[in-house]
Structure 1
């Protein structure tokens, strides 16, 4: 299942052959992956035209998984540029205005809603047990009980912004989140790792009203309390990135792997301690990596698909592609790896060929 910007086009493809099984439209842009409970496909829609809160129409749409028949559409007060979380017979999602909603998958009936202290712009929530973790703009992370939507805790990060642009990841009792650091959130040690040209630019723009992001950092929070257990150093900005940033972790073998687009870095760190194992160039990727066995696969906006060693970060190969990839990242289905490009092409590559660096054009 894949959706698009612009026309809000949604398509279901046969995984084995790529044949179109059904097509549909939603009322506005699609920004995130569709999700399914096996019977119904759910798709958020909205646009950030004019503001992060977006422009109407915005909401959530549901289609029959097998046939594409439209089941229902629920309209919301602001953009749903995220995807939801499915638990039992309900879907829980957050709008760009910071409204947490729970609906029946069967017919879209609203079961509960709650107001949060910020909006989820591009960040789907994460669920572990009965605890739902939500990252919010400008710089807040909250946890709520999924049954009642009662807030358990909220943690604000002074000096950080755009936390509602990257989904949290829950692993080993930690909520792993990331954010963009403003200049005033930087320490002298952070600035020492930044080029002089960049430092001068930051100080010049700090005089005016614009917000400049000096880099990104990753945090490990205690899932039960929201307390910060560890915090990485700032990964300083190396490129001016247009569009929404990201920074969602993939966890494997006790490591969290996270692409930080402002720093153009793929970072591997220990989930328990936050200790950094290795960093590598990320090809301007905004999507999370996929781990298969001892390999890390990252689809970049530039330079194609990179395959790295999980333990060391060493580059095994780069598979060239003309079209770049965005925040969806690769997906694994059966013995295939599926990728959707910025050019609107969905490609299925045998995973064995890709990991063996034998995937042709």
Structure 2
């Protein structure tokens, strides 16, 4: 049957004010996929909504038709102010990468997009032959990105011209790193390839122990001497950058592959490597030897999907659970210092840090900024509807973010 011709006013609604709507026959409504309420209560229930783009879904009883309706909420005094919004050819799963006056994003339609950071205008778009989970790496005037087409691609960062591509034996979900003149990339074929960054010529390869879970998909980390890669075989690997030889390998939550350190990317800083594993574990290892320093679990939302970031004497990481928690622990001991609750589930998104603030995305399109000093919630903004699994960038007071809405946005944060 035809859906009702229900409408809401196209004008932005001030938080705390009721939504003007024509919903004849509707009896209930809900905001952003949450619980249904009686219609009038839902229309008036805008006080707790952050600024941004929301979805009000109305229905005529439990078995009646549903109609989603877009509503823009404005909030006076918000510390996040939109600067621009740009349409993309596909959704974004990876990390957003600013470089100079450009912004680079890989998309799930196989595109690599370069935007002007100031305006969001497209500078160029290049294509791979399958979807891109991989995060772009910009170095030496080139941008490198993996693709599910089984290749690592290199493009001219200024023009988008393809320079070379290197075939592997599996899909390339992982993201490259550069050290000692070697470009390292892990593939779904269970190998890590060390390549010449100028030509893509293979310099070395490392083969993980054979198993059906020898697969890496996260962003590789490097301290300039070694590459650090988490994989679905429960292993965190450290490879010598120059030779590709295994420096060390440590198992994390080895009871099942589902608890591997494979989703959240490792972080290396100050001679230590930090990694989250999906069995609710956060680890610290010595970077040179792999000796364990500490291991902690979370009493609330669990560690595992989001990658840790070290900031001075602290480590900050998102956690998976209904509270949308961001946790901060001491870098030397793992002792918990504070917990921020965004109120919305966080999956793969990792903290992006600027000064004393961290920005992170929640699955239901919510962007949150928290204080690194005490975990207090500084600001929130709801982006265009689409799963927010990517990691934003936060530079010079501007948050750059992209979601499965096929949109990229920039928002100015007021400290």
2:50 and 2:152 map into 1 onto residues whose CA distance is 36
The Cα of 1:303 is off from its aligned counterpart by: 4.2
Which residue of 90, 112, 137 corresponds with 2:148? Answer: 137
Aligned to 1:4: none
Q: SS in structure 2 opposite 1:92?
A: strand
Aligned to 1:160: 170
The Cα of 1:253 is off from its aligned counterpart by: 4.8
1:85 is the counterpart of 2:89: no
1:86 and 1:360 map into 2 onto residues whose CA distance is 30
Q: Deviations over 1:3-35 (max 9, x none)?
A: xxxx69xxxxxxxxxxxxx9555789xxxxxxx
Aligned to 2:231: 260
Aligned to 2:248: 278
Give me the CA root mean square deviation: 2.8
Mark the runs of 5 or more structure 1 residues left unpaired by the alignment: 1-6, 9-21, 29-65, 182-215
Assess, with a 3 A threshold, how the Cα gap between structure 1 residues 360 and 236 changes in structure 2: closer, same or farther.
farther
Q: Which structure would you say has the larger Rg?
A: 2
Matches within 5 A, 1:71-110: 71-110=83-122
Aligned to 2:297: 320
Matches within 5 A, 1:95-244: 95-120=107-132, 122-157=133-168, 159-161=169-171, 163=172, 165-181=173-189, 216-237=190-211
1:26 and 1:170 map into 2 onto residues whose CA distance is 38
1:176 and 1:26 map into 2 onto residues whose CA distance is 39
1:348 is the counterpart of 2:328: yes
2:163 and 2:314 map into 1 onto residues whose CA distance is 40
**Equivalent residues of 1:91, 1:103 under 8 A apart:** yes
The Cα of 1:239 is off from its aligned counterpart by: 5.6
Which residue of 255, 266, 275 corresponds with 1:289? Answer: 266
1:136 and 1:119 map into 2 onto residues whose CA distance is 6
1:329 is the counterpart of 2:303: no
Assess, with a 3 A threshold, how the Cα gap between structure 1 residues 83 and 24 changes in structure 2: closer, same or farther.
farther
**Equivalent residues of 2:145, 2:152 under 8 A apart:** yes
1:69 is the counterpart of 2:69: no
1:23 and 1:326 map into 2 onto residues whose CA distance is 27
The Cα of 1:137 is off from its aligned counterpart by: 0.8
**Equivalent residues of 2:191, 2:207 under 8 A apart:** yes
The Cα of 1:87 is off from its aligned counterpart by: 2.1
Report the more deviating stretch, 97-106 or 128-137.
97-106
Q: SS in structure 2 opposite 1:102?
A: strand
**Equivalent residues of 2:154, 2:162 under 8 A apart:** yes
The Cα of 1:135 is off from its aligned counterpart by: 0.6
Taking structure 1 as the reference length, what is the TM-score of the superposition?
Answer: 0.65
1:270 and 1:26 map into 2 onto residues whose CA distance is 47
The Cα of 1:231 is off from its aligned counterpart by: 0.8
Which structure dedicates a bigger proportion of its chain to helix? 1
Aligned to 2:277: 300
Assess, with a 3 A threshold, how the Cα gap between structure 1 residues 231 and 129 changes in structure 2: closer, same or farther.
same
The Cα of 1:75 is off from its aligned counterpart by: 2.0
Mark the runs of 5 or more structure 2 residues left unpaired by the alignment: 1-31, 34-48, 56-77, 254-259, 339-415
